[in-house]
Amino acid sequence: MYNEKVMEIFKSPKNVGEMENPSAVGSVGNASCGDIMKIFLRIENNIIVDASFLTFGCAAAIVTSSTATEMIKGLSIEDALKITNKQVIDALEGLPAQKIHCSVLAEEAIKSAIDDYKSKL
Ligand code: FES
C-alpha cells in the first residue's frame, strides 16, 4: 500500500522524541481515528532551528511528521506556516488516498505549535 520512500522513512523516521525546553509545542488529534501528533519547535530570531515530534498514530502519520519536521527546519515561522500537507505528500512521492487525512495532522500540528509560539510573544 505504501511506496518505497514512505516505507524507508517509516523504518527510520527522523526527529522523533520530546524536545527539552522547546520554544513552542503544538498538539492535534484526528477525531475519526483517535491518533494524536505533538510537534516541538525551537525558534531563534524567528527561524525554526530545530523540530521534533511524538506521534501516536499510523504509519502515514509518523512518516508525514518526520518529513514535515525536516521540511520546516531552517524556515522562518512565516514560511513554515505556508507548508501544506500536499507539499509533504509530494515530498513522499505520494500516499494512498485513504491516508491523505493523516498528512493533514502534520500541517495542523505545525500551525498549532506556531500559534503557541505567537501566544507567548
Ligand atoms: Fe489516524 Fe492515520 S489513521 S492519522
Q: Mean pLDDT for the chain? A: 96
Q: In this structure, which amino acid lies at residue 6? A: V
Give the residue, by CA position, lying nearest to ligand 1 atom 4. Answer: 102
Q: What is the pLDDT of residue 121?
A: 87
Q: Which residues contact 110 (CB under 8 A, 6 or more apart)?
A: 26, 39, 68, 72, 80, 81, 83
Residue in 33, 56, 93, 118 annotated catalytic: 33
Residue 32 pLDDT > 90, yes or no? no
Cα(45)–Cα(62) distance, integer angstroms: 28
102 tagged catalytic = yes
Q: What is the pTM of this model?
A: 0.95
Averaged pLDDT for residues 23-35? 94
Cα(89)–Cα(92) distance, integer angstroms: 5
